[in-house]
Chains A and B, each alone.
Chain A
């Protein structure tokens, strides 16, 4: 017993020291070159300048680096939860981040630049030239805030993406007319595809930082110390030169940072929570409107198509029934997210649907499969006697369907339909993947910039409830009015 206890203590102590010896660092390897990317020659290995900086810090701390894949937009929340020790993946230096997390000194300065199609380089030189046009960027970044401002001042439409590859591919396709992102990403995009042009002037200047959990200021101070040292002894310059992103901006940044002794960025010029809320609440309402319009339109499509499928499956010939059954099973058996990607990105070379239309069609086609099953079972639930009575009275099959079977089936289908509409209202958040900023996406952007999920989360939940509760009430009333006897 005693031996066991000692063994247990040893085990726990061993695990603890192993944890102390590794340095868990979080980043997003999805489309992440030259920051963090799986090595094309050996995808089990990571490469990128952020990878080398993380390794440098681990080495100086005497620890082994261990990578944790975290979605770019979730890095802040993940740092706060303590999922990793340090986070770096092109993380931008913004006031809200400094307020809610412990942030290092900046280690790389970037310029926000405007990229357009080659043919538009003379027409679109700045955001002011893009009035009434769609301009894309990565959500939750300085560039996105820049575009939100330009929405007010220049009347552009800001389009937010979840990654930094698709803004440029959609620019090439003509879905957007400009992309604003930092020059590191812009240069990479220019290398990857032809026909794009990046204006050299900076629309704004920002910097990358390393984040740690807010209470972990001790680690942050160590990181600052290591970064300053690496700035002075040229280690950082070597890394950035290797990745072809070194320029004179960095030398000036390092002169400035390396000679400071304290981390100066803390809590400087941070808008208050109330100011932030006032700034974002109107866009939250607008996003709720988009969610509602999208859901209603997609549901209308799903209902119309679902009824046709159900009628085809009940009345059609064997070939029609087989084709429709395959459609229903494929749509129900594959993730709606995959279907949305295929419709928006996959079909882009055949038909270039605008994001909202692709979202509407994708959700509508998917939900049509579910609706058709509801209508089919409702049609089959209408008692046979009803149809026999109709037949003796001389109604044709189609008349019996139109006048008797379908109206009765519709009443039976009402409750499950309402459930589906509420589900659709929530599933519509998936279309943020296609750059449609609906309620959940807008809440996420709000929360990222505010550095907290509490207020945005509550507002978002309330807006969803305001949209779904009256519907449930209406459905219950109609159901009571139309209550069918249980035959």
Chain B
């Protein structure tokens, strides 16, 4: 089985600050990997390096085609939901317009937002915009999907819908890597959790185990902060 993602000894420095200090990570098809850590631990930077938006100073990144869902979605503001999903297949992959439309419509349908196909991004709720952003990322059929804080703008009911949708995607053979602050969501829907502190991986494993009985001090601190935040 070939890995969808393999990164080794990633180092990245911004000025005086070492943001990543030798991070290694992998994701296999069917996995939902959650990156957890306090703000500034380097989780989002890892996603950006995998997506090619930033270049590491040293280390190795092996990933094929990547899709990404940003925390603030970044849907193309001048296009309708449907056009957002169709644009890359038509312009980048040169798919025929009617085919791209069919596929986009079916993706929006699967994600439960087909009724919003003609809406502009500014007319969508946070949850709707997120699902359109997932559809847009999936439209070019990437084996690896990155999600930055996918639960940040969702209420609890929507959170479970999203989790189910992610589980379905993983079952179809994709790899998912997401960052999250939400330990309950990670426990319920991730297959593996990777805890980061100060640009290093400090703990890794089954979410139930890691989050119920953390072994590393940073993980315990993280859970304390997250739970304090929720109260």
Find A392's partner among B53, B75, B76, B78 (CB 8 Å cutoff): B53
In the complex, identify which listed stretch (A228-236, A357-365, A382-390, A426-434) lies at the interface while the others stay far away. A382-390
Bound-state Cα–Cα, A188 to B51, Å: 78
Nearest chain A residue, comparing its CB with the CB of B48: A388
- The yes or no answer to A455 lying at the interface (CB within 8 A) is no
A392 near B91 with CB under 8 A, answer no
Tell me which residues across on chain A come within 8 A of B5, comparing CB atoms: none
- The yes or no answer to B122 lying at the interface (CB within 8 A) is yes
Nearest chain B residue, comparing its CB with the CB of A384: B74
A391 near B53 with CB under 8 A, answer yes
Bound-state Cα–Cα, A482 to B80, Å: 12
Nearest chain A residue, comparing its CB with the CB of B75: A389
> Which chain B residues (113-141) contact chain A, with CB distance < 8 Å?
121-122, 136-137, 140
- The yes or no answer to B213 lying at the interface (CB within 8 A) is no
Tell me which residues across on chain A come within 8 A of B67, comparing CB atoms: 392
Give chain B nearest CB distance to A482 CB in angstroms. 7
Given A393-B88, A393-B92, A411 and B78 touching (CB < 8 A)? yes
Give chain A nearest CB distance to B84 CB in angstroms. 9
Given A394-B92, A399-B92, A389 and B140 touching (CB < 8 A)? no
Tell me which residues across on chain B come within 8 A of A43, comparing CB atoms: none
Nearest chain B residue, comparing its CB with the CB of A399: B91
- The yes or no answer to A295 lying at the interface (CB within 8 A) is no
A395 near B70 with CB under 8 A, answer no
Given A385-B72, A403-B87, A393 and B136 touching (CB < 8 A)? yes
Bound-state Cα–Cα, A483 to B136, Å: 22
Q: How many residues of B are counted as interface, with CB atoms below 8 angstroms from the partner's CB atoms?
A: 23
Bound-state Cα–Cα, A101 to B17, Å: 82
Given A392-B67, A393-B140, A386 and B53 touching (CB < 8 A)? no
A395 near B74 with CB under 8 A, answer no
Given A394-B92, A399-B91, A485-B122, A389 and B78 touching (CB < 8 A)? no
Tell me which residues across on chain A come within 8 A of B91, comparing CB atoms: 395, 399, 403
B92 near A386 with CB under 8 A, answer no
Tell me which residues across on chain A come within 8 A of B88, comparing CB atoms: 393-395
> Which chain A residues (390-442) contact chain B, with CB distance < 8 Å?
390-395, 399, 403-404, 407-408, 411
Listed residue (A385, A386, A394) with the most chain B CB atoms within 10 angstroms of its CB:
A394
Give chain A nearest CB distance to B149 CB in angstroms. 14
- The yes or no answer to B77 lying at the interface (CB within 8 A) is yes
Nearest chain A residue, comparing its CB with the CB of B89: A393
Q: How many residues of A are counted as interface, with CB atoms below 8 angstroms from the partner's CB atoms?
A: 21
B92 near A385 with CB under 8 A, answer no
Give chain A nearest CB distance to B131 CB in angstroms. 15
Bound-state Cα–Cα, A407 to B120, Å: 14
A386 near B52 with CB under 8 A, answer no
- The yes or no answer to B66 lying at the interface (CB within 8 A) is yes
- The yes or no answer to B56 lying at the interface (CB within 8 A) is no
Give chain B nearest CB distance to A486 CB in angstroms. 10
- The yes or no answer to A484 lying at the interface (CB within 8 A) is yes
Give chain B nearest CB distance to A446 CB in angstroms. 47
- The yes or no answer to B186 lying at the interface (CB within 8 A) is no
Tell me which residues across on chain B come within 8 A of A386, comparing CB atoms: 74, 76-77
Given A394-B140, A403-B87, A485-B77, A389 and B92 touching (CB < 8 A)? no
Instruction: Digitize B198-216: 1 where CB-to-A-CB distance is under 8 Å, 0 elsewhere.
Output: 0000000000000000000
Give 6 nearest A-B pairs by CB, closest first. Answer: A385-B74, A393-B88, A394-B92, A389-B74, A485-B122, A392-B68
Binding site for A on B (CB under 8 A): 51-53, 66-68, 70, 72, 74-78, 87-88, 91-93, 121-122, 136-137, 140
Binding site for B on A (CB under 8 A): 383, 385-386, 388-395, 399, 403-404, 407-408, 411, 482-485
Can you report 23 A-B residue pairs in the complex whose CB atoms are below 8 A from each other? A383-B74, A385-B72, A386-B74, A386-B76, A388-B70, A389-B70, A389-B74, A390-B76, A391-B52, A392-B53, A392-B66, A392-B68, A393-B92, A399-B91, A399-B92, A403-B87, A404-B76, A408-B78, A482-B78, A483-B122, A484-B122, A485-B121, A485-B122
